[in-house]
Amino acid sequence: MSILENLVCPVCHAPLEHTQTTLTCVKCRQTYSINRTFPDLLVGARFEDDFCECLWCNEENTGRFLSENYLAPLFTRLQENARHRPAKVLSIGCGVGTDVEALCERGFDAYGIDSGNRSRYWERRKQPERYAVANAKYLPFENESFDFIVMGCVLPHIGVGNDTYVTQPDYVEQRARTVSEMVRVTKKDGYLIVSSPNKRCPLDFFHRRSVSSHMPRLHWPWESFLLSLNDYRHFFLKENGCRRIDVMPLRGYWGFFSSSKYLLGKILQLPVRFYFENILSWRAFGFIRKTAVNPWLILLIKK
């Protein structure tokens, strides 16, 4: 199914009338364009990330691996007793969009939105009609539209200037608005799966100084760019009334594609893989995932 059939005005949430090239809100008369089959409902600024073929091709593998090995099995388990199928999924800040593609192949009714330049890669996707340009702060969907929301490493990039690690003065308000939009479009009893590096862990393996560098970024555990479990609890539980947050095991999340390309990387990844896939994933050690020794938070949030 096309994302067009699911879209409403991102400002007032009224239905849209569409021609081949434009979408017009029936209520506020705001118009939006359709560029090369992709509806552009962006309200506010684009996310101006630099084009990086090497990183984005790697993300194509990572997104597919994530959906096949982590998201699809998790959603299937959570859906066991549900009546309606296939489950409807929205990936917010889906980047190159392979997570959506792989979920569709596994029978989910999945869609992706993004406000940045990785959207150039959507033309490569098997079902390009499932993507739209939109801002996570103004989602173009009706209330309670999705069973599952996926957000992989996006919230730290909201409220920062031009793909940097420097937050803007109103970054808390921008993130709060994003979370309330995410919760608004999630069905009652639906789930949100949100991940990002852990602010409390001073080693950030996921935002390196350059693509060629393999050194983690060192940071203070109170910096404003990243979020901690407490920050997420504040936004989702306290401000938006979600019912619970579980910190999930890491096994199956990362495919370690970039470090698998060269011998030293293959060797160095062994202890990291053991740590992620065993120590941080064993049920008995669940409590340590909530602490500063866990570099990557994967949160399962129940609305």
Ligand X SMILES: C[S@@+](CC[C@H](N)C(=O)[O-])C[C@H]1O[C@@H](n2cnc3c(N)ncnc32)[C@H](O)[C@@H]1O
Cβ–Cβ < 8 Å for 66, 94: no
How many CA atoms, within 13 angstroms, populate the side-chain half-sphere of residue 107?
9
- Pick one of 24, 40, 86, 116: the residue that binds ligand X (CB under 6 A): 116
Stretch that binds ligand X, among 12-20, 93-101, 186-194, 216-224 (CB under 6 A): 93-101
Cβ–Cβ < 8 Å for 278, 252: no
Stretch that binds ligand X, among 23-31, 74-82, 150-158, 291-299 (CB under 6 A): 150-158
- Position 218, amino acid: L
Count of residues in contact with ligand X, rule CB under 6 A: 20
CA angle (247 as vertex; 244, 248 as ends), nearest 5: 120
- Pick one of 118, 199, 217, 289: the residue that binds ligand X (CB under 6 A): 118
Contacts of 301 (CB under 8 A, 6+ apart): 191, 192, 193, 194, 232, 236, 242, 244, 245
- Pick one of 68, 114, 147, 181: the residue that binds ligand X (CB under 6 A): 114
Instruction: State the residue for tokens 């998790």.
Output: 74
Nearest to 169 by CA among 178, 181, 179, 160: 160
Minimum distance from residue 206 beta carbon to ligand X (Å):
8
Cβ–Cβ < 8 Å for 163, 39: no
- Pick one of 8, 132, 154, 248: the residue that binds ligand X (CB under 6 A): 154
Residues from 232 through 291 that contact ligand X (CB under 6 A) = none
Considering beta carbons, is residue 20 or 210 the nearer one to ligand X? Answer: 210
Site string (40-79) toward ligand X, x via CB under 6 A:
-------x-x---------x--xx----------------
**Cα 55 → chain centroid:** 16
Give residues in contact with ligand X (CB under 6 A): 47, 49, 59, 62-63, 93-95, 114-116, 118, 135-137, 152-154, 157-158
